[in-house]
Amino acid sequence: MTSPRHAPAAARVRSIPRRGPDLRSRIVQSALGISLVLAASASSAIEAGNDWIESHGISTFGDLKYPAGFAHLDYVNPEAPKGGEMSIWAFGSFDSMNPYTTKGRAAAASSIFFESMLVGTADEIGASYCLLCESIAYPEDRSEAIFTLHPDVAFSDGTPLTAEDAVFSFNILLEKGLPSFRAQLAQKVESVEALDDRRVHFVFKEGIPTRDLISDVGGLPVFSKADYEANDRDFEESSLEPLLGSGPYTLGRMDVGQTIVYERNPDYWGEDIPINIGRNNFDDLRIEYYADYNAAFEGFKAGTYTFRNEASSILWATGYDFPALQKGHVTKQEFANGNKATNQAWAFNLRRERFQDPRVREAIALMFNFEWSNETLFYGIYDRVESFWDNSYLEPEGPPSDAEIAILQPLVDEGLLDASILTDPPYSLPVSGSRQLDRGNLRTASALLDEAGWPVGDDGLRRNAQGEVLQIEILNDSQTFDRVINPFVENLKRLGVDARHSRVDNAQMTARERPPQYDYDVAQTFLSTAYIPGTELRQFFGSETADTSTFNKMGLKDPAVDALIDVVLEAKSKEETITAVKALDRVLRAKKLWIPQWNKNTHTVAFYDIYGHPDPLPPYSLGQLDFWWWDAEKAARLEAEGAL
């Protein structure tokens, strides 16, 4: 589930009618053989004689990698020293320490204060292990769960963390969380109660897939009820005073909008539990804010901060020739990145009538020449994002398999999808030529707009039958994106589109992109998906979140997509999940909802040579704030040479 934020009360959660239960039933039964009769309540499950499982963790499919009583995670250094500082940079500014409200802009990493019952690892997909809890118990059908808290768990002020705090945290997220998150939470949980000081009992609603529910509720942050009430806090408001949590770091120094420092809590309750061995190694985590990407790079060169995950291809290719690197004070490295692509893209705002026609969206997307941009601007280091599950085994190839067709056929029969989805390879934008404006793409885009009712007038601009000019505004709050957007705008103008590149500051960008304004034509976004997708699919792509979510940038309301999300969530095995995800990806791509950008399967990083890290790194995390460590000997050398 996507991180909780802010939403309408459960009683007001809107139920989006689907295209009939018969269709949903046909899809699920024909494709996956999933029964529509799901788990019953706790009492009936027990009466039915279901076996209960007690464990130190839970996996969506298959067994856990780490057995009960494991000493530490495989990828950490259990002897990693504690101390020193890790410092990074962040873009823009901040004016809040509350990451769970839409008001204000929360500081980077401000969720660091809070922990959850369960936590994932960086070397395993679909697994969650106990953190706040000592164990979890659940029936085989996963219709409920009991978390038993670790006996020593405490908030950072030393007060005990109890089951009552967990219930309070769930309820406040349900009542005042982010709209899209809250809507999903209300649909899942029938009840939550504290059985005693250490045990929290969740019962899930009937009629929904239970596969991921324990991991979902186990991933919710826990706040101190006593601190919240004693300080008369308001969860929906922005505040520079963080809520009280149990995490390994507390708030240290703050220069509002410029610098934030998190300090390691020397009395952290979970220092010695196996999941934390070799982690949380730095005394301080410092984040420096910059309004400009190039200014941030200059700050790194000057030693203002010490670790940089480089996202600018031109800087990576040409900028790392400064004295600190030449002297060996800074090291520049590439590490393998096993994560699926972040799905960086411009997303069309389908709330705008002119973008509801897929031919218009396709024509506009054809004018972004990735190949020219990659060669001319990015020094060839990127690959084009094509799939919503790019750089993973979930990306479909070629025509759909028989299993995928079984999922898609009922949607075609209902007239929700074109029959070509059953035979064609997944849609991808064509490879463009080496010139900024690809003539073939221009001709194709022109024909699409003519067909869609946007012919070119005598003044070279395209208008519809009502005389409205076809306009598109590309918002941008980053100077480094100017060189990418400006050629795109030039190409659009050659097509007859009234295209504009609007530079706005970070605060304006945030305000215009969030509900209820949704004041943009296309929005820069990361359409995040997971290896084992859960209800975040509804937050990014579901009809029920289209008018409330900060994640559903497209405002997508599509019955075929809604039905396929159900199929993914009801998959009972890894194989069924892969099949369902591939079918969903084909449909999302066929609808031409985005202008996909780029990705690279490596971490390109530079840092002052004062750190140690595991070798090799785990596949799914770079982990610089998590399991790297301060090397005092290296730091002393650089300090002696005046590099720090």
Integer Rg of the chain from CA: 25
Q: What is the pLDDT of residues 523-539, one digit of tens each?
A: 999 988 889 998 889 98
Locate the domains of the chain by residue range. 10-29+41-79+115-230, 249-337+601-640, 344-599
CA–CA distances in Å: residue 173 to residues 4, 153, 170, 237, 509: 7, 21, 5, 13, 26
Instruction: Count the neighbouring beta carbons within 10 Å of the beta carbon of residue 536.
Output: 21
How far apart are the C-alpha atoms of 206 and 488, rounded to whole Å? 49
The tokens of 252 are what?
A: 């240290």
The reply to whether domains 10-29+41-79+115-230 and 344-599 share a CATH topology is no
Q: What is the pLDDT of residue 27?
A: 54
Q: What is the pLDDT of residue 50?
A: 54
How far apart are the C-alpha atoms of 179 and 616, rounded to whole Å? 40
How far apart are the C-alpha atoms of 56 and 135, rounded to whole Å? 5
Query: Which residue in this structure is represented by tokens 């067709």?
Result: 405
Q: What is the pLDDT of residue 41?
A: 35
Q: What is the pLDDT of residues 84-100, one digit of tens each?
A: 999 999 999 999 999 88
- Name the phi and psi angles at 189, rounded to 5: -105, 125
How far apart are the C-alpha atoms of 540 and 527, rounded to whole Å? 7
How far apart are the C-alpha atoms of 118 and 129, rounded to whole Å? 5
- 190: helix, coil or strand? strand
Pairing of strands 284-290, 259-264: antiparallel
The tokens of 124 are what?
A: 């395993």
Q: Which CATH class is domain 249-337+601-640?
A: alpha beta
How far apart are the C-alpha atoms of 295 and 93, rounded to whole Å? 14
Low-confidence ranges of the chain (pLDDT < 70): 1-50, 180
Q: What is the pLDDT of residue 6?
A: 30
Could you tell me which CATH number the domain at 344-599 has? 3.10.105.10
In CATH, the architecture of 10-29+41-79+115-230 is 3-Layer(aba) Sandwich (3.40)
Q: Tell which residue, 467, 484, 468, 464, has the closest CA to residue 476.
A: 484
Question: Which residues are CB-neighbours of 55 under 8 A, at least 6 positions away?
Answer: 64, 68, 135, 136, 137
Q: What is the pLDDT of residue 180?
A: 64
Find residue 346's DSSP bridge partners.
524, 595
The tokens of 310 are what?
A: 């480089």
> If you ran DSSP here, which 8-state letter would residue 267 be given?
T
Q: What is the pLDDT of residue 2?
A: 39
Q: What is the pLDDT of residue 36?
A: 31
Between vectors from CA 610 to CA 605 and to CA 612, what angle results, nearest 5°?
75
